[in-house]
Amino acid sequence: MFKYCILYFFLIFVSFLEAQNIKTIQLRPLQENNFSAIVPLGTVLELSFDDLEADSREYQYKVEHMTHDWQKSRLLSSQYIDGFDQNYINNVTNSFNTFQSYSHYEVKIPNVNTVITKSGNYLLSVLDAYDEVVFTRRFVLYENLATIGVSVARSRNTKTVNTQQTIQFSVNHPNIQINNPGLEINVAIIKNNNWNETITDLQPTFFKPNQLLYTYTNKTNFWGDNEYLNFDSKIIRNKSLNIVKITKDDVFNHYIYPYEYNEFLEYTYNPDINGQFVIRTLEGNDNDNDTEADYALMHFTLQVDEMFKEKEVYVYGAYNDFSISNKNRMYFNPNTNAYNASILLKQGFYNYTYATIGTDGLVNTHQINGSFFETENEYTVITYYKPFGSLYDRVIGVGTGFFNQNR
């Protein structure tokens, strides 16, 4: 029994090390500059990631159908997949001419072994040789059976008129008979493709023939936040956008221009890609960003007058799926009155911001950078349909909307 316990904890430790070495996870359509994994049924998504161990390990992917609220659905895998729901990732290439060695993995879904036949929410897991989950990503496949009209406007609440945005939308369903919208329809509003910023559990406010209206004035409010900060590390040896200093150790160190906290900050338009990132290098021989882009240790600095009380600070963005962990936490240096973090990232153009977490455990993305109604954000509305007697939530339509300052 003791021997089996040792083996069990060893496997957990190995899986933890593997998760630590996995970098640059992307799940995107093949179209350039399309960052959303919410796509029509039949669209090809590509999963890619790097393993810094660079020893060509065996990884598998697993696809699971989920309910509208991300619980495991009642469908058997054979009911939503032609082929296999779990298979090996065979496309593996090693980095070329980089200081940081890594193996690059990628797989396209659907493929000849895995063809998804149903719309809905899906959880994509990557498993190691011990069938332990290394990481997961969400994606959504939808049918174009309903038209979703989305409107984004300045908050109508006088208390948040300058800091929040209101989302209103309609579900137009001339070809679908909905008998009981309160039970058959579920919706989710997602901000900037970040599943940590969603609003669900909404009922229609008005009913029209073949149309459902959601015209809330407070319940569908999001913080506007601010435009994302950015840097570009496409040149590993020389300074690029917002890189002020470069040094060389085992890998290159890139020091990002320090950000100064200002509680009286006013809104200034700055085009961004809503927290996303693009891998690219200008120094490869074969113009292959996947295997010729190097890794650099990116050094973030947040200048403050004093340490935030009962608050932790994090570097926040899609580079790690908008997650919070010790790997992206910043630490306060009383000698310089600054928060600092060092994160190993692959060469490219990155959006990021600073987030805080207080004793309530909630992520706050506007305490440091402010929140403004003018901020350009992308909102996606997903509409789920599960009629009486059905086994699963279909996604019958998806709509997107952006804030328009002229409204």
Fold of the domain built from segment(s) 2-142: Immunoglobulin-like (2.60.40)
Overall average pLDDT of the 358-365 stretch: 94
**pTM flag (> 0.85):** yes
| CA atoms 270, 290, 344, 57: torsion sign | positive
What CA–CA distance (Å, rounded) separates 243 from 246?
A: 8
For the cut 50, the answer to whether the pLDDT of residue 3 exceeds it is no
For the cut 70, the answer to whether the pLDDT of residue 152 exceeds it is yes
For the cut 70, the answer to whether the pLDDT of residue 18 exceeds it is no
Closest CA to 349 of 229, 238, 257: 229
pLDDT digits (tens, 9 = 90+) for 31-52: 988 999 999 999 999 999 999 9
Closest CA to 100 of 292, 342, 282: 292
pLDDT digits (tens, 9 = 90+) for 160-207: 999 999 999 999 999 999 999 999 999 999 999 999 999 999 999 999
Tokens 């950000």 belong to 259
Fold of the domain built from segment(s) 229-364: Immunoglobulin-like (2.60.40)
What are the structural domain ranges in the chain? 2-142, 147-224+375-402, 229-364
Tokens 């190097």 belong to 294
Overall average pLDDT of the 351-372 stretch: 96
The least confident of 247-256, 368-377, 397-406 is 397-406
Overall average pLDDT of the 250-263 stretch: 96
User: How confident is residue 286, by pLDDT bands cut at 50, 70 and 90?
Assistant: confident
User: How confident is residue 19, by pLDDT bands cut at 50, 70 and 90?
Assistant: low
CATH, domain range 147-224+375-402: 2.60.40
Strand, coil or helix: what is 235?
Answer: coil
For the cut 90, the answer to whether the pLDDT of residue 11 exceeds it is no
What CA–CA distance (Å, rounded) separates 54 from 50?
A: 8
Tokens representing 146 are 């309903």
Given this chain, do its domains 147-224+375-402 and 229-364 carry the same CATH topology? yes
Q: What is the pLDDT of residue 405?
A: 62
DSSP strands (E only) in 91-177: 91-94, 103-109, 114-116, 120-127, 133-142, 147-154, 164-172
Q: Residues with Cβ < 8 Å from 218, sequence gap 6 or more?
A: 156, 157, 166
User: How confident is residue 324, by pLDDT bands cut at 50, 70 and 90?
Assistant: very high
